[in-house]
Amino acid sequence: MAETSAGGTAFEISIGLAFIGGYADAASFLLAHTFTGHLTGNCVLGAVSAASKEWNLAADRLLAATVFIAGILFSLAFNRFLPVQLKRYSLAMAMFVEVFLIMSAGLLLANKANNEFFIVCMCLALGIQNDALHKTNGISVHSTYMTGMVTTLIQKGFQHWLPMQDPKADSTSRSPDLTIRILSLTWLSFLIGAVTGALMIVSFGSSGLLVVVLPLSVLIYVELKRK
């Protein structure tokens, strides 16, 4: 992963990728009735679809969950075997692959391809993104789903506003201020991305998905410039 001296991906990249994650997930749900950026929603919706005997939809959601995991595994294997001299470019390379996959997904829909091909491309893209970005300034983050980060945000906020009265505990605990700032802005960026993605799909149909390639390309440029 792209590391900074502070121990993680640059903050602006994290915020940008959270926007991409929200945009892509909302767009995918509107286009294929399936989440492509996380597992929980698809597992629940897949179970609901199976219970309702909507077998094709259940299969699509199971496919989405499986391919998302495959994207994570691909990213892990890619980084494991990437030559040492190229490792500092790993995040930029992951984002480049994501651009290719999202563009492929949009073109497949434009050519009336089956939803399954679209789901495979989008879930691979977001699975790769989920692994490629997992830490900012030493703080664990996710850019394709928010459940764990919101839980941590609430915990840190509670710790900040209602600190423990034990002086010994206070002196050894890490200040939550930085964590709150990073997680809250990442969450906000994800929500803005989701709203933007939904509006673009409602307004422009499947071609609205390709709009997300522009901010993703800007993030690639910013990441490469940092090197």
Give the tens place of pLDDT for each residue, 100-147: 999 999 998 888 878 899 999 999 999 999 999 877 777 778 788 777
Domains of the chain: 11-226 (1.20.1250)
By three-state DSSP, how is residue 119 classified? helix
| pTM of the complete model | 0.85
Among residues of the chain, what percentage have pLDDT more than 70? Answer: 89
Helices (H), the chain: 11-32, 40-51, 55-81, 90-110, 115-132, 147-161, 167-172, 177-204, 213-226
Q: How many CB atoms lie within 10 A of CB 168?
A: 8
Instruction: For 81-90, write each residue's pLDDT tens digit.
Output: 999 888 889 9
Nearest Cα neighbor of 21 from 151, 215, 224 is 215
